[in-house]
Structure 1
């Protein structure tokens, strides 16, 4: 039987100063003044429309993603959080993350964000090499990135994540190592370190940049940077996530453990467990900001609903859970999918024989070999 998992809230703010050539998120370059007041109202109407799906439940984390949420003023972020708190129960002391572009930050905003209820900042640094940043199309330089992090810390925000990318155009192993070291010098609580990929429907996919490291070069960067992070006391708890003790991102852990999340905002996605109906629902909102603003709170703002079929659930669960170094318990699979463990045992045994998966009682996790070929491991759980 399906059991209710924790519930998170994702809030999408779709605007950015300039669309980066590698970005495949629903983001739109800013043209003139942002409709902040109108968008706050639209978000709250959107939430109200979804509330019947989650009556009586408590939100355990909130994440503002984008786009660039830090384009919104502290007052508008406060209005969103106050409006959310007036409509749904929030767990006391819950993690509230705001994604931030280092090129759009000011000291007084960090103090205002903290007063509004934000207690975790995620900086999209990507690199501390100005040449790499320029080739990535970023609007900030390394000095601005360092200054922004220090401003946030001075404002009393100590739960800080730095996003870093590797295998960048023109990057070599020494440059990748230096990026990690400069990040560590800023004493963040969390570092996300992931490889640049050329996603479909991006400028980089249509016109790949020159100077990209080959597969072996990228692997060398990953291994060396993993070692640097481990030496500095950062435990790798997910494929691309490293944290000091007790500073794992609770919002993302909920995703990876196949928890539930409401998604509000233009193009936002949600996943909700409905035990009374014994089904799991995915819902997403219309993508374009203008269309969303015009329709938020009405059925026209719902881009689609999809009830996951039982045959899809093993892959959907593993797509998340196998990203975690800790792996998963069979009991968690049963609770989060409503399926018996026999639905995945053949694929688990096959993965064990291939050296991809390790068994410890009812607990399964990827081996180091399996972690290197994780896409193949996940694909083994696809329906026939």
Structure 2
């Protein structure tokens, strides 16, 4: 798809931000009723053909990232752990051959408890994966069934044990405000997760997304807003007591175990996304572009061969950039240095002066001019804070 280049900046970007690589593996065993990700249930995987397509996608993207080092790699899905360890090894071997992958780069792979065993985790580690993110969601069998998960509570515990055995750092993904969930049950999930001593834990509020069975066809009975807020605060308190820092809206980590890949997103870094439906954000001297690959797997495989796999490409305008930057940076509880705005967008921070003044006046943003940091109120009402920058 042809891209229209719009000159954005007065001076342009003087340095490019760190670059990450996102690799989308779109298949799963079963589509969960709450999921709105680009994932597709499949009985068999065209693993070899898809890896061929991924490596060709990466090769064709090289002119956009020429000379740049890749700091982190993330395999997302779908359920990447459905792929064989040999397949993951082949992808990472190709990445090393085609790009400047930094030594010691954080390489994360998402996994679901129903799709892993000891040999597979050992194989992923040998291939170069340094971190796994396990989609536990809950350790309660009733809630797992309500969420349509393919694993049970014993498989969830076993997967967490394997992650702790094979990886120095790993993440456990949990959800709260589940159908029929009580505050005690939400905290019981947290306590069970903590028993595996995870270096990182994500706790997401279940939301009903449009175009999902939960969102329109069969909405479940969820805890009300007050109970959900009580759960969120109780979870934060329990995890803080356990020595985990609440560093991002839904993320908690022990020292030195924050997700480096996700931090790059939140600090408005760059990322190249390859695979069906993958998104990219890439910075050049005079522009920042966003891209999206063809969404459906078979269409992506066909489009790669024809060189038509970029389904959408657009250049961010001056009006886009304040909100785009703040939407990421203000998810971080400690915020970012104020100087990062100009470094990442090429625009002077003064373009946000009115929004910043309004946010500070409403008690949503700290008054320290050297830092863009949400207050506790700003963290609790993040959408209200971000809305101020839509008209910046």
Scaled by the length of structure 1, the TM-score of the pair is: 0.97
Partner residue of 1:95? Answer: 106
Counterpart in the other structure of 2:317? 309
- Residues 221, 343 of structure 1: alpha-carbon distance in 2 compared, 3 angstrom cutoff: same
Structure 1 equivalent of residue 334 of structure 2: 326
Equivalent residue in structure 1 for 2:118, among 107, 111, 130: 107
Deviation readout 1:187-214 (Å, 9 max, x if unpaired): 1110000100001111100134333100
2:213–2:219 Cα contact (<8 Å) kept: no
User: Cα RMSD between the aligned structures?
Assistant: 1.0
Equivalent in the alignment of 1:165: 175
State the aligned residue count: 380
Correspondences of 1:9-158 after superposition (within 5 Å): 9-31=21-43, 33-154=44-165, 156-158=166-168
Shift of residue 153 of structure 1? 2.7
Distance in 2 between the 1:296 and 1:223 partners? 46
Contact persistence 1:171–1:211 (CA under 8 A): no
Deviation per CA, 1:54-108: give whole Å up to 9, x if none. Answer: 1000000000000000000000000000001100001110100000000011110
Q: Which residue in the other structure is 1:286 paired with?
A: 294
Q: Extract structure 1 runs of 4+ deviating beyond 3 A.
A: none
Using the size of structure 2 for normalisation, the TM-score is: 0.95
Aligned to 2:223: 213
Deviation at 1:149, TM superposition (A): 1.7
Counterpart-to-counterpart distance in 1, 2:305 and 2:263: 29
In the alignment, which residue of structure 1 is the partner of 2:3? none
For residue 294 of structure 1, report the CA deviation from its aligned partner.
Answer: 1.4
Q: Say whether the 8 Å CA contact 1:48–1:87 is kept in structure 2.
A: yes
Matched ranges for 1:181-200 at <5 A: 181-200=191-210
Could you tell me which of 245, 253, 256 is aligned with 1:235?
Answer: 245
2-structure distance, mates of 1:252, 1:364: 18
Other-structure match for 1:372:
380
SS for the counterpart of 1:138 is coil
